[in-house]
């Protein structure tokens, strides 16, 4: 049976983007070759954080956990979830009337059927054209004053009226220069720029809800 390496799962609400504030069951997978230096989920790939043995979850275990929480949507994230074949997972969730959302850097082909795709491109590995075209929304991490213009030059011709969220890199969320660039770009109105934020971090909801593989739900108890 298909298994996926799971870093953690948690039932919470989406803290970013167009679905902000909506409840969702998050599935965070291990592995990421992109490896941004400011990554806020480095435990999925950094050798100083990942366990020696990574336990894999069966698709049915993930499905039953989502159903147990009465989730209407599941968010598959990472790490970089698209290094994995997600077709079996998305099929199982969709067949049980659970919407499936994807959060990806867009650097690897998307394998699976998703109701919503959020692409957050990174300079450390260029996104694929196919992923950019499939995105319903973009999330740009603004870690330098030049970040927004850099992505305008790279992929601005593909924005096509889709929302582009501008998120200050979390450690720079109070940096006046970064915030000023976001403010100016939103008001320019050249693209559908929107000021973004990781609202869930203000509430601390993820830390309260996380379930690691060592504490996962056993099928025999369901």
pLDDT for 216 equals 46
- E runs forming strands in 67-176: 73-77, 99-104, 116-119, 137-142, 164-168
Residue 173: inside a domain? no
Residue 81: inside a domain? yes
Residue 145: inside a domain? no
Q: What is the pLDDT of the chain when averaged over all its residues?
A: 92
Residue 35's Cα: distance from chain center in Å?
14
Residue 13: inside a domain? yes
User: Is 61 exposed, middle or buried, given 0-12, 13-18 or 19+ CB atoms closer than 10 A?
Assistant: buried
Please state, in angstroms and rounded to a whole number, the distance separating the CA atoms of residues 15 and 123: 23
How many domains would you assign to the chain?
1
pLDDT for 70 equals 93
> pLDDT grade, residue 209 (50/70/90)?
low
SS3 151: helix
> pLDDT grade, residue 217 (50/70/90)?
very low
pLDDT for 40 equals 86
Q: In CATH, what number is assigned to the domain containing residue 34?
A: 3.20.20.70
**β-strand 99-104 against 116-119: which pairing, if any?**
parallel
Residue 82: inside a domain? yes
Residue 161: inside a domain? no
Which residues pair with residue 58 across a beta bridge? 3
pLDDT for 69 equals 93
End-to-end alpha carbon distance in the chain: 18
> pLDDT grade, residue 20 (50/70/90)?
very high
Q: Give the residue numbers spanning the domain of 24.
A: 3-139+198-221
Please state, in angstroms and rounded to a whole number, the distance separating the CA atoms of residues 35 and 149: 22
Please state, in angstroms and rounded to a whole number, the distance separating the CA atoms of residues 198 and 168: 9
Residue 19: inside a domain? yes
Residue 144: inside a domain? no
Q: Over the stretch 109-153, which tens digit does the pLDDT of each residue have?
A: 999 999 999 999 999 999 999 999 999 999 999 999 999 999 999
pLDDT for 219 equals 37
- Asked if 118 contacts 77 with a C-beta cutoff of 8 angstroms, the reply is no
Query: What integer is the mean pLDDT of 185-200?
Result: 94
């Amino acid at each position: 049976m298909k298994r996926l390496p799971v870093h953690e799962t948690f039932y919470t609400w989406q803290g970013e983007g167009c679905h902000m504030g909506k409840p969702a069951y998050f599935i965070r997978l291990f592995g990421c070759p992109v490896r941004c230096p400011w990554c806020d989920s480095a435990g999925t790939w950094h050798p100083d954080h990942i366990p020696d043995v990574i336990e894999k979850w069966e698709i049915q275990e993930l499905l039953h956990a989502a159903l147990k929480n009465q989730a209407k949507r599941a968010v598959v994230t990472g790490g970089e979830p698209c290094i994995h074949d997600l077709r079996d997972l998305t099929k199982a969730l969709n067949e049980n009337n659970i919407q499936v959302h994807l959060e990806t850097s867009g650097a690897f082909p998307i394998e699976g059927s998703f109701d919503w795709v959020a692409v957050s491109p990174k300079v450390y590995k260029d996104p694929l054209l196919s992923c950019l075209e499939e995105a319903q929304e973009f999330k740009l991490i603004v870690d330098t004053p030049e970040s927004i213009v850099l992505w305008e030059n790279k992929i601005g011709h593909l924005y096509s009226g889709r929302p582009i969220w501008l998120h200050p890199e979390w450690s720079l969320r109070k940096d006046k220069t970064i915030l000023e660039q976001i403010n100016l770009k939103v008001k320019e109105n050249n693209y559908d720029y929107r000021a973004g934020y990781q609202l869930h971090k203000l509430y601390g909801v993820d830390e309260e809800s996380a379930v690691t593989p060592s504490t996962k739900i056993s099928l025999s108890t369901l």
